[in-house]
Amino acid sequence: EPLRLLYPAERIISVRSADLSVKYEEGKDYELTGEGELRILPDGSIPVLAYDEYYFENYTDDGLQTQIPAAAETGAYIVAETTKDSPGMSRWCLAVTYLHSDEGPVEEPADKSGRFPRLRKKLEAGEAIKAVYYGDSITYGWASTALEEVNRPPYCPMYADLAMDYLEAKYGSEIARVNLSRSGETSAWAAEYANYSRVCAENPDLVVLAFGMNDGVVTEARQFVANIRNIVRNIQSRCPETEIVVVTSMLPNDLVGYQQGTSLRNFHESYPKALAAAEEDWEGVAVADVTAVHTQMLTRKKFQDTTSSNTNHPNDYMHRAYAQVVLRTLLGDGFEAL
């Protein structure tokens, strides 16, 4: 079937492999349908993942190296993480550049620039800034291709670095970055003194606080938000000049779970509303709602278009979406093409 892009395409400029090394030919490898969708031609050279290589009738437990149990009572799905040794899911992803109308499924994230007066003042003065990233594996950088553990073309930085790179280019400020994120962790880990005290020790101007992907498997919204409130309070009580952007996570693959008959996606979609209530009580803190944007993206695109692993890690494309949500939250209308 034809592939739906995020917007109905009016004209295709280029279709390339995810690493940008291969450029495919219109009319030979693909065509644009009248509905603005991309059709891969059967006799072309674009690699396609066959369904029987994506879904397995029986689950073989190899420590989540190649398969993960289905959320159904039987079956399993492919796990293919992007690493130095393997392109992972990006083997079957395409980078499509195209012209389109303005109509699309994604609503512009809210302008919350007013919540970051100290950051904006320093940026506009061109002063040096320190940013601390405090999150799980996504904010550690998985599986952006510039990550040291991946290090493969096209070498796209992880989302927080993309955002900081943009701010440096726009304002001329030098932004030091300290990444204290740790893969596999939750907001409960982040709320422990031994961990958040390292954030405070850096005395940052901006904290990118981003948990929820791992929490959302088992932690209800009330407890998750209580943990985030504690982290925010403890950081700001020790670093009163620090401002914080709380980044919600993309959604995981709802077709899979760590055990048969369970799903990775349980509480994630309830977090933004609960965080919005907390946001009303905060000063110098705002929520960058990636969850809402990813939810809207998935009304047109497949989850597989946004993942490096087919489970819960973003690919380069989704890291760029994260970065845009963060920048729109920080800058509002000040976020525009350079």
* pLDDT tens digits for range 58-100: 999 999 999 999 999 999 999 999 999 999 999 999 999 999 9
Q: What is the pLDDT of residues 111-136, one digit of tens each?
A: 999 999 999 999 999 999 999 999 99
255-261 mean pLDDT: 96
Q: What is the pTM of this model?
A: 0.97
For 3, counting Cβ atoms within 10 Å of its Cβ (0-12 exposed, 13-18 middle, 19+ buried), the class is middle
Q: What is the pLDDT of residues 166-224, one digit of tens each?
A: 999 999 999 999 999 999 999 999 999 999 999 999 999 999 999 999 999 999 999 99
